[in-house]
């Protein structure tokens, strides 16, 4: 049987070691997980994991500097694709962060900051464990119970134009979109690599997913 290659995109701004180790831990003998900065490896991969952390402008600049924008756009349309944290936010059209940043425009919509003015007891960033309420069935939810807890670190959240792309939501004062999916793409605001058994199950589900 041919080996399945899963590329973890390295553009200098992801939590790469913990993401790749979590994916490797859940991979079967036919699956190879590789961290790469090579656009050709991403092009040749059977599936792509796109992690990210930090700020939107620096993230987009790093993608441009490493020549990753076109490979990411192509992969997000053609093969099983998992975006994590900033790897979700920069898939949107535009972010309000850093005074406004144009993003990859793969999922129409915007990224905006929490308004916690009505919730003085809550802190920014939204950090720690919180529940994800699954709003639609998806293969990546397999064996993950409804309202399972995942680990978050973020001050901005996504607002998709198309409600049908919403597959999970979380409440931090306000209820916000936590998971978006379109066709072969699944992107999550939380950090599955820091989310214990449910996060590992998400990686396992992704590694066996054909994108349909």
In this structure, what CATH number is given to the domain that contains residue 177? 3.40.50.880
Query: Which pLDDT value is given to residue 12?
Result: 84
Q: Read off the pLDDT of residues 15-39 as tens digits, 9 standing for 90 and up.
A: 789 999 999 999 999 999 999 999 9
Is 170 inside a domain boundary?
Answer: yes
Query: Which pLDDT value is given to residue 21?
Result: 95
Is 72 inside a domain boundary?
Answer: yes
Across the range 108-114, mean pLDDT stands at 97
Across the range 48-55, mean pLDDT stands at 92
pTM: 0.97
70 part of the active site: no
Q: Read off the pLDDT of residues 136-178 as tens digits, 9 standing for 90 and up.
A: 999 999 999 999 999 999 999 999 999 999 999 999 999 999 9
- Strand 47-50 to strand 107-113: parallel, antiparallel, or no bridges (unpaired)? unpaired
Domain that holds residue 164: 4-207
Query: Which pLDDT value is given to residue 177?
Result: 98
Residue 1 has pLDDT above 60, yes or no: no
Could you give the percent of the chain with pLDDT greater than 70?
A: 100
Is 121 inside a domain boundary?
Answer: yes
Is 92 inside a domain boundary?
Answer: yes
Q: Which of 59, 85, 97, 154 is catalytic?
A: 85
Domain count within the chain: 1
Query: Which pLDDT value is given to residue 9?
Result: 95
Across the range 116-135, mean pLDDT stands at 96
Is 212 inside a domain boundary?
Answer: no
Residue 68 · residue 39 · CB < 8 Å: yes
Is 58 inside a domain boundary?
Answer: yes
Strand positions, DSSP E, 10-147: 31-36, 47-50, 81-84, 92-95, 101-102, 107-113, 126-131, 133-134
198 part of the active site: no
Q: Which of 97, 103, 172, 193 is catalytic?
A: 193
Residue 96 has pLDDT above 60, yes or no: yes
């Amino acid at each position: 049987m041919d080996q399945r290659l899963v590329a973890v995109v390295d553009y200098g701004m992801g939590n790469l070691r913990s993401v790749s180790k979590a994916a490797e831990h859940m991979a079967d003998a036919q699956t190879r997980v590789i961290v790469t900065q090579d656009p050709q490896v991403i092009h040749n991969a059977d599936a792509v994991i796109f992690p990210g952390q930090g700020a939107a402008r620096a993230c987009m600049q790093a993608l441009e500097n490493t020549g990753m924008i076109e490979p990411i756009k192509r992969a997000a349309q053609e093969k099983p694709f998992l975006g994590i944290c900033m790897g979700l936010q920069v898939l949107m059209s535009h972010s309000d962060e850093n005074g406004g940043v144009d993003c990859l425009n793969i999922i129409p919509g915007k990224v905006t900051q929490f308004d916690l003015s009505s919730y003085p007891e809550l802190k920014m960033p939204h950090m720690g464990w919180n529940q994800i309420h699954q709003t639609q069935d998806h293969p990546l939810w397999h064996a993950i119970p409804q309202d399972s807890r995942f680990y978050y670190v973020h001050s901005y959240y996504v607002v998709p134009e198309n409600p049908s792309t919403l597959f999970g939501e979380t409440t931090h004062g306000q209820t916000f979109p936590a998971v978006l999916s379109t066709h072969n793409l699944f992107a999550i605001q939380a950090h599955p690599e820091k989310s214990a058994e449910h996060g590992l199950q998400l990686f396992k589900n992704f590694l066996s997913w054909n994108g349909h």
